[in-house]
Structure 1
């Protein structure tokens, strides 16, 4: 689904955010990306999304080198309050990107309501974003991405601005929609527990300039549960290993084959 080849990006002021990043993501995988603050996680995601043109290297999606913003990709940002249009209803916010699909107005509204139902917000279609809680607004953002039916979903610290209980609910929602739609997801997070709980793999970036320090497979049974999964010895072991790597301690793990 996704190949990142020797990707390097330096900003105009000379700061090198990421250097020589190589990463392959298989169709249907959910890959978590973690790393210390300032290691270039968001820069990497913006390069994949076509919002930034990398200084060196290339990105290949579905076997085709990416140039600009790919049509089969959607992004869920951390700041839901700035990614939703307050003057549009929830349903119309979700339906808006579907204009690019060439769908009729009726088709867009139907697809929007199906997506809202999948995230538990079928009752909120006629409301406005400012009438909803933060967690519900982020569900709207996820519904908008799902309605577009992307091959690849990028999530940039999407749960960082909500409370702990809502965060867990949104983690489970991500696993649910991934399972039902078979979507490929790349999730950037600063939360080590979250990276292990939702991921099939955890990719750890080293300190700036960002580089792949480790690529760890997550072998946890499903369906995952916020209580029982986090009590498993393998979960505890993995979160400790990821924590050591993020903090710069321990040996760099070999890239998983």
Structure 2
């Protein structure tokens, strides 16, 4: 299986604060890889550097294929309230002919179970449905790599389970390569083919773990599987050890502000 993403000695600093301390890993084509780490360890910065929203201070990012899409945690701010659901999904496809845009958007909305909501506005939908729109928009772009930054953190537990299962289904049916940043250990084990465990800031790779679970998963039996429970405990122990680096809160907060500022300036 070929590599879809290759990250080599990736590092990033904000002033005198080092957020990422040299990360090297690969994501194979068709894989779903989860990234977990302590709060403030640089997970979101990692995703922004991979996506090209900010320039890394050092290292290389190589993507097979030119298309990638990002789904952020804050789905409400990522959707345009004046556009219909269909219009939001079509938005990244503006360079395509109108007929093709409509077909792709309608297809993606069907994938996420929102075909009947195409003419609604985002504010008329629940939080979970809005995040489905954001996922549909990313899928309509048909990315080589789908990047997700804590995509289910802002929804309730039941909606989170539904969206996790949606992601697994879409990934399976469309052979999508996915990299998910999450702070939730259980989610990383449930979703992932592999889990990358990061240390506290500056982020370094603590472990690259294969997930020994079958491809078909469900929220009840999978989470009670002995392999699931054992891996969850292992990841928790690794985070406990790897996260015990001193975090300068003031520097971290300043770095987060700078990261967001770089992201906004690059996007505009």
- TM-score, normalising length: structure 2: 0.88
Secondary structure in 1 aligned to 2:197?
strand
Residue aligning to 2:18: 16
Q: Give me the whole-angstrom Cα distance separating, in 1, the residues matched to 2:213 and 2:139.
A: 25
Q: Give me the whole-angstrom Cα distance separating, in 1, the residues matched to 2:25 and 2:215.
A: 25
- Aligned match of 2:59 in 50, 57, 60? 57
Gap runs ≥5 in structure 1: 65-70, 251-257
Instruction: Map Cα deviations across residues 132-187 of structure 1 (whole Å, 9 max, x no partner).
Output: 00000000000000100000000000000000000000000000000011011000
Shift in alpha-carbon separation, 1:9–1:249, aligned structure 2, 3 A: closer
Residue aligning to 1:213: 206
Secondary structure in 2 aligned to 1:247?
helix
Q: Give me the whole-angstrom Cα distance separating, in 1, the residues matched to 2:224 and 2:22.
A: 36
Residue aligning to 1:75: 70
Alpha-carbon shift at residue 249 of structure 1 (Å): 6.7
How many residues matched?
Answer: 240
Residue aligning to 1:109: 102
Are 2:198 and 2:242, in contact at CA under 8 Å, matched by a contact in 1? no
Residue aligning to 1:174: 167
Secondary structure in 2 aligned to 1:169?
helix
Matches for 1:1-257 after TM superposition, within 5 Å? 1-11=4-14, 13-62=15-64, 71-99=66-94, 102-248=95-241
Secondary structure in 1 aligned to 2:8?
strand
Q: Give me the whole-angstrom Cα distance separating, in 1, the residues matched to 2:196 and 2:218.
A: 22
Q: Give me the whole-angstrom Cα distance separating, in 2, the residues matched to 1:85 and 1:60.
A: 31
Alpha-carbon shift at residue 222 of structure 1 (Å): 2.9
Alpha-carbon shift at residue 92 of structure 1 (Å): 0.5
Residue aligning to 1:68: none
Secondary structure in 2 aligned to 1:236?
helix
Instruction: Map Cα deviations across residues 103-146 of structure 1 (whole Å, 9 max, x no partner).
Output: 21121111101100100000100000011000000000000001
RMSD of the alignment, in Å? 1.2
Gap runs ≥5 in structure 2: 244-268
Q: Give me the whole-angstrom Cα distance separating, in 2, the residues matched to 1:39 and 1:23.
A: 17
Residue aligning to 2:261: none
Are 2:206 and 2:242, in contact at CA under 8 Å, matched by a contact in 1? no
Secondary structure in 2 aligned to 1:219?
coil
Higher helix proportion: 2
Q: Give me the whole-angstrom Cα distance separating, in 2, the residues matched to 1:178 and 1:88.
A: 27
Secondary structure in 1 aligned to 2:228?
helix
Q: Give me the whole-angstrom Cα distance separating, in 2, the residues matched to 1:247 and 1:142.
A: 32
Are 2:199 and 2:242, in contact at CA under 8 Å, matched by a contact in 1? no
Secondary structure in 2 aligned to 1:116?
helix
Secondary structure in 1 aligned to 2:73?
coil
